[in-house]
Amino acid sequence: MIRFMATPTPIAPPAAPPAEPRFRDYFINMGPQHPSTHGVLRMIVKLAGENVLGLTPHLGYVHRGIEKMGESQTAIQFTHLTDRLDYLSAHMNNWGWTLAVEQALGIEVPERAEYIRVLMSELTRVASHQLWWGVFGMDLGAFTPFLYAFRDREKINDIFEKTCGARLTMNYICPGGVTLDLEANFEQDTRAFVNYFRPIIEEYECLLSGNIIIQERTKGVGVLPADRAKSYGVTGPTLRASGVDYDVRKNRPYGFYPKFNFKTAVASEGDSWARYRVRLEEMRQSLKIIEQALDQMPKSGPVRTKLPPTLKIPKGRYLSRVEAARGEIAFFLVGDDGPKPYRVKIRSPGFSNLSAFPEIIKGWRVADIVTVLSTFDIVVPDMDR
Amino acid sequence: MSQPPVSPEAVSPSPAPALSPVVAAVKNQVEKILGASAVFELAGKLPAFRVSAGEVHAACEKLKAAGFDYLLFVTAVDYPAQQRFELNYALSNYRDGIEFCLVADVDRQQPKIATVSDLWITADWHEREVFDLFGIRFENHPDLRRILLDDSWDGYPLRKDYVDQVHDVIKRPY
């Protein structure tokens, strides 16, 4: 039955303005489905008007219980699950887990494999920072950087795909070395990419860094002081932008990193702009490492040590620490002489980094949540595990 | 990472093998800070210092004052056969990459321990995670809520005796 509209009722005259203050505190949900959260992160934001009074992150929307899964499969089987943590640092995650297992079993890694690990990790770092740079632009309302970044990231993905067969979840670095030798054109492709991308970083600078809107929205916004950063266990570019020169590759070297000449990118301001600059500089340093590794790498040789059929993890505690694109990822492995780990703990960089976020965002505006969260460069599956 | 070949005689239970220089340096440094209350143990590769549950906060205070400004994580390991949870505090600093574990046992029936989130704020979230997945209570914690799982979740999944009632996986005989 169709009801026709009756004659309009007269609208009541506006009531007298309330005696209470016009703006009261209220809460809004940012997320779980929000473009700026890069995944499913829910933040309950307490606001007065547009000013942020407080922020409470709610995690766990992508919690898959990877640590529990680690207890029910062998060390080799678990390797591929580490890809699914921070999917933009898949090689570094593989490497971190592999280091823990190799430490437990005393496995030696062939020289060529060590170089391949460094090469893959640094390419991953560049690819991760490229993606970050693109979505950072997009978060701030500029769509073009996203297209530029993905155009260039595609080239790294192609290099990965040729060798590993996968573009995102590689499962390439494994206990004993790497699963396969490099594809025949790897060196040529990688050198071509390095030569292509070095001037492109300057193009990135021209496109975004000099933009007055970007600078106004990032300079002095969301300052993370060094002592607070340390107390929150922040690592990676987010920490280095606060003036703490800490990089696992330098301060607790693993693999063949001591053989390479590179600098850690450090800035002292601790604001969003500093985090932006640190990541751009890290891309340049990674290209330097890639070139050195390609020069030094033996052109042929074994890439994987032969392992016993079952890897029994000796009783005890093992800890491996690796610098992923977002900070320090640590794997804590407890063995009990069985083939399966007794306990796997993953210290993900994003989890600790995000814990500092609610404190520094207080007093800023809603739009700054997006900016600062973007420069923290979070990946939600990494935090939720 | 390479290990020299071990002769059969050396495998016999005593004497204890000599510590590597790195581990020996950690042992000396931390034993000086913690004094006699901490018992050094080395199973595996990560040096650990065991203290009683009541002494954890005091020990952490000493370590923090001695320059260990970086708490990597707090986690627990479940040992149901011995009716205990073992809490692991992985500590380091932002300079030279020294690393070790502070270890304490808590009773499995009434698991509780003092929080260290007043020393390193990062412990706030890590302790919430342990509370969430193991059900260990942290006393004086500013905000002890579940962090990863839903508030209505039954049980503590990382305990060894946890049975997932919702997504129960079929146990096949092979």
Whether residue B31 lies within 8 A of chain A, CB to CB, comes out as: no
Dihedral angle of Cα A277, A380, A44, B135, to the nearest 10 degrees? -130
Burial A67-104 (b: 16+ CB within 10 A, else e): bbebbebbbbebbbbbbbbbbbbbbbbbbbbbbbbbbb
Compute the average pLDDT of residues B6-30.
66
Closest Cα to residue B46, out of B89, B93, B104, B99? B99
Say yes or no for a CB contact (<8 Å) between A319 and B46. yes
Compute the average pLDDT of residues B21-38.
80
When pLDDT is cut at 50, 70 and 90, the band that residue A118 belongs to is very high
Determine what percent of chain A is predicted with pLDDT higher than 70. 94
Question: What pLDDT score was predicted for residue A20?
Answer: 58
Kindly state whether residue B34 falls inside one of the protein's structural domains. yes
Mean pLDDT across chain A: 87
Q: Minimum mean pLDDT among A77-81, A348-352, B35-39, B167-171: which range?
A: B167-171
- How far off is chain B from A369, nearest CA to CA, in Å? 20
When pLDDT is cut at 50, 70 and 90, the band that residue A289 belongs to is very high
Question: What pLDDT score was predicted for residue A13?
Answer: 56
Kindly state whether residue A28 falls inside one of the protein's structural domains. no
Q: Is the pLDDT of residue A307 over 90?
A: no
Whether residue B124 lies within 8 A of chain A, CB to CB, comes out as: yes
Kindly state whether residue B9 falls inside one of the protein's structural domains. no
Kindly state whether residue A384 falls inside one of the protein's structural domains. no
When pLDDT is cut at 50, 70 and 90, the band that residue A345 belongs to is very high
Q: Is the pLDDT of residue A3 over 60?
A: no
Q: Is B167 helix (H, G, I), strand (E, B) or coil?
A: coil
Q: Is B111 helix (H, G, I), strand (E, B) or coil?
A: coil
Identify all chain B residues contacting A59, using CB atoms and an 8 Å cutoff.
147-148
- How far off is chain A from B94, nearest CA to CA, in Å? 6
Kindly state whether residue A126 falls inside one of the protein's structural domains. yes
Question: What pLDDT score was predicted for residue B98?
Answer: 87
Compute the average pLDDT of residues A132-142.
89
Identify all chain A residues contacting B129, using CB atoms and an 8 Å cutoff.
351
- How far off is chain A from B120, nearest CA to CA, in Å? 5
Say yes or no for a CB contact (<8 Å) between B97 and A248. yes
Say yes or no for a CB contact (<8 Å) between A318 and B46. yes
When pLDDT is cut at 50, 70 and 90, the band that residue A196 belongs to is very high
Q: Which residue has the higher pLDDT, A35 or A348?
A: A348
Q: Is the pLDDT of residue B40 over 80?
A: yes
Q: Is the pLDDT of residue A7 over 70?
A: no
Q: Going by DSSP bridges, is the β-strand pair A51-58/A42-48 parallel, antiparallel, or unpaired?
A: antiparallel
Q: Is B139 helix (H, G, I), strand (E, B) or coil?
A: strand
Say yes or no for a CB contact (<8 Å) between B3 and A385. no
CB of A196 closer than 8 Å to CB of A188 = no
CB of B122 closer than 8 Å to CB of B60 = no
Question: What pLDDT score was predicted for residue A184?
Answer: 87
Kindly state whether residue B154 falls inside one of the protein's structural domains. no
Whether residue A264 lies within 8 A of chain B, CB to CB, comes out as: no
Measured between alpha carbons, how far is B100 from B91 in angstroms, rounded to an integer? 6
Kindly state whether residue A275 falls inside one of the protein's structural domains. yes
User: Which CATH number does the domain housing residue A229 bear?
Assistant: 1.10.645.10
Containing domain of residue A349, as a range? 64-356+363-368
Q: Is the pLDDT of residue A328 over 60?
A: yes
Q: Which two tokens stand for residue A285?
A: 């340093």
Kindly state whether residue B163 falls inside one of the protein's structural domains. no
Containing domain of residue B44, as a range? 19-139
Q: Quick one: which H or E segment has residue A114? A: helix A111-139
Dihedral angle of Cα A350, A351, A353, A356, to the nearest 10 degrees? 150
Whether residue A189 lies within 8 A of chain B, CB to CB, comes out as: no
Whether residue A288 lies within 8 A of chain B, CB to CB, comes out as: no
Number of domains in chain B: 1
Instruction: Choose from B87, B121, B160, B172 for mutation: most chain A CBs within 10 A.
Output: B121
Q: Which two tokens stand for residue A227?
A: 């002592």
User: Which CATH number does the domain housing residue B69 bear?
Assistant: 3.30.460.80
Number of domains in chain A: 1
Whether residue B88 lies within 8 A of chain A, CB to CB, comes out as: yes
Kindly state whether residue B145 falls inside one of the protein's structural domains. no
Kindly state whether residue A260 falls inside one of the protein's structural domains. yes
- How far off is chain B from A371, nearest CA to CA, in Å? 23
Say yes or no for a CB contact (<8 Å) between B121 and A232. yes
Q: Which residue has the higher pLDDT, B165 or A26?
A: A26
Whether residue B149 lies within 8 A of chain A, CB to CB, comes out as: yes
Identify all chain B residues contacting A73, using CB atoms and an 8 Å cutoff.
none
Compute the average pLDDT of residues A309-321.
89
| Closest CA in chain A for residue B118 | A231
Identify all chain B residues contacting A32, using CB atoms and an 8 Å cutoff.
none
* Chain segment B47-66, per-residue pLDDT in tens: 899 998 888 898 898 888 98
* Chain segment A254-272, per-residue pLDDT in tens: 988 999 999 888 888 888 8
When pLDDT is cut at 50, 70 and 90, the band that residue A385 belongs to is confident
When pLDDT is cut at 50, 70 and 90, the band that residue A180 belongs to is confident
Q: In what order do the strands lie in the sheet with A42-48?
A: A25-30, A42-48, A51-58
Kindly state whether residue A261 falls inside one of the protein's structural domains. yes
Question: What pLDDT score was predicted for residue A11?
Answer: 55
Q: Quick one: which H or E segment has residue B114? A: strand B112-114
Whether residue A151 lies within 8 A of chain B, CB to CB, comes out as: no
* Chain segment B98-139, per-residue pLDDT in tens: 889 999 999 888 888 999 989 999 999 999 999 999 989 998
Compute the average pLDDT of residues A288-304.
90
Q: Is the pLDDT of residue A95 over 90?
A: yes
Kindly state whether residue B75 falls inside one of the protein's structural domains. yes
CB of B58 closer than 8 Å to CB of A316 = no
Question: What pLDDT score was predicted for residue A347?
Answer: 92
Compute the average pLDDT of residues A350-363.
89
Measured between alpha carbons, how far is A237 from B70 in angstroms, rounded to an integer? 16
Q: Is the pLDDT of residue A52 over 60?
A: yes
* Interface A:B, Cβ pairs < 8 A: 114
Question: What pLDDT score was predicted for residue B11?
Answer: 47
Whether residue A64 lies within 8 A of chain B, CB to CB, comes out as: no
Q: Which residue has the higher pLDDT, B107 or B173?
A: B107
Question: What pLDDT score was predicted for residue A344?
Answer: 92
- Would the ipTM clear 0.90, i.e. be above it? no
Kindly state whether residue B91 falls inside one of the protein's structural domains. yes
Question: What pLDDT score was predicted for residue B10?
Answer: 46
Q: Minimum mean pLDDT among A21-25, A68-72, A79-83, A138-142: which range?
A: A21-25
Say yes or no for a CB contact (<8 Å) between A355 and B125. yes
DSSP E strands, A269-382 = 316-324, 327-335, 343-347
Question: What pLDDT score was predicted for residue A70?
Answer: 87
Compute the average pLDDT of residues B85-97.
90
DSSP tally for chain B: helices H, then strands E: 4, 7
